[in-house]
Structure 1
Amino acid sequence: MDRLIALCGVLGGAVLIVFRVYDRADEVPLWAVVAPLLVMAGLELVRRTRPVLTVSLGGLAFAAGVFAGSLLATTIMYTDLLYAAVLYGSHRMSRVLHLTGGSTVLVLSALAWWKSGTAAGLLIVVVASLVFLAPVWTGELVRKHRQEAESERLRAEQTALLSEMDRREAVVAERARMARELHDVVANHLSAIAIHATGAQSVARRRQLPADDPLVEVLAVIRENSVQGLAEMRRMIGLLRDSGGGEADASYAAPDLAAVDALLAKARAAGQDVGLEFELTEHGEHRDVPVPVGLAAYRIVQESLTNALKHAGPGLVRLRLEFEPERLRIAVDSPYRGGAGRELPGARAGLVGMSERAGLLGGSFEAGPRDGYWSVRAVLPCGRGSEAGA
């Protein structure tokens, strides 16, 4: 921008010189008009970085131009130097230019009035004010607007920062509340189940029941699941409470598809008494999937097997995992037991949770009766986009 202003000033001055549009064109040598013009154009190049230098040398060049030939291009560039000095210089520079500009206007108008009368004095007041004061006032006005805009921007950033801090504090408080609820309600119930199951096992041992007795096996499954659920619940509580920006609980490892075999083993042990069998088939090349996808797949399989144990009729539960280059397909088919039955607490909440897990990853989920089976179908994308989004 500074180079463009300098170039326009030189070209404009050249046009005026060619057509001899300046005072005493027949008396003043050409170099006396060109020199102030070139000096002023050179000062335009450093008007932002050297305001004191540009105003000082510019004032001398302007005075020389006035006495030589009063070239309009030189005067206009000098007013731009005054404007830039106020806009980019210090507050002290602005005060100095206001003082010197007003003094110059007063001195010149007084001299003109003394020598040529009131009309000449008024004319000099108007012209000198346009040259020495108008650029200074304009620069000061623009500078104030810029400072106000910068203050508003900083205030907006500060407000956004405070809002973000409030949001984080709200999240921290909510996570702490959830941790308390999980600890006080769910974890206590799981602890009670584990304690009662252990006591029942002790009673069974005192009665000398054999290890393969169905009652002993059921008690062992109840105790094992309750203890494992309690341990995972405690890890989850620790993860929720670690919401202050510190390191996460290293003991908590998110489950993935590698733990599906353990899920099936537990499901087979729990399903013996109700006539359920479980089968796993895998298609495609088994490979590692992103952590969020592996966790979502594990939870979907876990919830599907749990629903089968709760609601399915006797028969074979088929679990199928299809590994494709860009997605993972999960299919669970369990014998469908129709008819109205007593719904357990939290009925259909698991279906909603599975659907939400698939939706958050950009996948799809559907579940419902089909050809005598309760079918669960989930498709989870395995690309980088799903991992970043999760």
Structure 2
Amino acid sequence: MLTSIRPDRDAVALAVSGLLGGLLLWVLGLHTQGGHSLSARWVTLVPLTAMAAAELLRRTAPRTALTIGTLALVADQFTWGNLATILMFTDVMYAAVLYGTPAAARRLPVATLLITVASTIGFLAWFHKPEALLIGLVIGLVSFIPALTGVSVRTHHSAADSARLAAAQTARLAEMDRTQAVVAERARMGRELHDMVANHLSAVAIHSTAALSIDDPETSRNALKVIRENSVEGLAEMRRLIGLLREGGEDDAPAAAPTLASLDALVEQTNVNGASSGLICTLEGAGDAVPDALPTPVELAAYRIVQESLTNALKHAAPGPVTVRLAHAGGVLTIEVTSVFGSRPGPTAPGSGAGLVGMRERVALLGGTITAGAEPDGDGTKIWRVRAELPVVERTMRE
């Protein structure tokens, strides 16, 4: 508690300066009143000292300082008077408004104005002379003007604090937006990298395992051919992604996003890569069933879903048909990829589950739905079905 009422340096400086200045005026015999028969000259130092003590409390206890200062100012009127006492009171009044409670900041200017007006009217009625207006002017200068100045400074301080708070909040919001944007961009880059390269690397892994495990020159030759084709295509995809990540040089032309029109090539490539595993991939509904003008995000998401589903089939599907179906009805694009569920002979490629996560993220961003899992087929076998529904109306895309 003692620490909380300890005066600051400014208060000490004002108190010492006021006290020394008042002592100098007292030594020189300069008083605000010509003389007073009710007291000796030394009594003038009592309200001066009390006002200096009030100055010490101007910031830590402004209400107490104002009370002491008001009593000291009244007492000073019954002495020879000291100008330093009056000047220090103006600072105490100013500090009471500036550092006091909000209620005190509202009430003190009104109270001092009423006191000034009432005093002026009272002295005019008492003296019946125009000179009484000067007394009211002095009272206003000593009380109302310092209080009004304190209100003005306090208002500016409050506005500055509000501006700093708003700036800090804006900075925090900007940092949150930047962080979210970075996270979203990293997720998008991860999906693109996985979808573009996983297909090629899966084929490379499967066929390289076959070449190492089967001691047959023809098999090795075919495997190496597939490995080379997928390596070249994967390298091209990587270069395209690196080009997108660069800040933009003169030679970095933006690459076109894959479209549903290139699904034929994707299915054909899957047939080549999955031939050794007994996979036969077919595409249904990519012609008239799908409109020509689809929103770019929808078309890219549909292509990536098919690409990732074929990659998973290449990794895990049992020998048999792999069917890709596309349909468009009621403003919804439906993508369905089915393959035979079960174990298969020969090499397989490991999976991390990131592909399914990426597909769900793409669909969620577009406000669609997706399901993936094994289910029984009509002939007693099980199939793995991936089914996604993507809204294609403009309203949904804007939302």
TM-score w.r.t. the length of structure 2 is 0.51
Counterpart check, 1:369 vs 2:374: yes
Pick closer, same or farther for the CA change 1:143–1:327 going to 2, 3 Å.
farther
Aligned match of 1:387 in 369, 394, 397? 397
Distance 1:291 1:339 in 2: 37
Give the letter aligned to residue 378 of structure 1. A
CA contact (8 A) 2:317 2:344 kept: no
Distance 2:182 2:305 in 1: 29
Give the letter aligned to residue 389 of structure 2. V
Shift of 1:314: 1.9
Aligned match of 2:271 in 268, 273, 279? 268
Pick closer, same or farther for the CA change 1:258–1:154 going to 2, 3 Å.
farther
Where does residue 259 of structure 1 map in the other structure? Answer: 262
Counterpart check, 1:337 vs 2:342: yes
Distance 1:173 1:284 in 2: 37
Distance 1:373 1:344 in 2: 19
Aligned match of 1:114 in 127, 132, 137? 127
Distance 1:247 1:328 in 2: 38
Where does residue 38 of structure 1 map in the other structure? Answer: none
Give the letter aligned to residue 287 of structure 1. D
Distance 2:118 2:300 in 1: 80
Counterpart check, 1:281 vs 2:298: no
Where does residue 323 of structure 1 map in the other structure? Answer: 328
Distance 2:281 2:292 in 1: 23
Distance 1:339 1:228 in 2: 27
Where does residue 302 of structure 1 map in the other structure? Answer: 307
Shift of 1:247: 11
CA contact (8 A) 1:290 1:382 kept: yes
Distance 2:315 2:351 in 1: 12
Pick closer, same or farther for the CA change 1:154–1:232 going to 2, 3 Å.
farther
Distance 1:238 1:168 in 2: 25
Pick closer, same or farther for the CA change 1:165–1:336 going to 2, 3 Å.
same
Shift of 1:171: 7.0
Q: Which SS does the other structure have where 1:278 is aligned?
A: strand
CA contact (8 A) 1:239 1:248 kept: no
Shift of 1:322: 0.5
- Give the number of the structure with larger relative contact order, counting CA–CA contacts within 8 Å between residues 6 or more apart: 2
Pick closer, same or farther for the CA change 1:343–1:108 going to 2, 3 Å.
farther
Pick closer, same or farther for the CA change 1:249–1:329 going to 2, 3 Å.
farther
Where does residue 231 of structure 1 map in the other structure? Answer: 236
* Structure 2 gap ranges (5+): 1-111, 208-216
Distance 2:241 2:170 in 1: 29
Distance 2:308 2:219 in 1: 25
Give the letter aligned to residue 306 of structure 1. T
CA contact (8 A) 1:291 1:387 kept: no
Shift of 1:112: 1.9
Aligned pairs, how many? 257
Distance 2:351 2:162 in 1: 49
Identity of aligned residues (%): 38
Distance 2:359 2:120 in 1: 87
Where does residue 356 of structure 2 map in the other structure? Answer: 351
CA contact (8 A) 2:315 2:348 kept: no
Counterpart check, 1:314 vs 2:319: yes
Q: Which SS does the other structure have where 2:367 is aligned?
A: coil
Shift of 1:152: 3.6
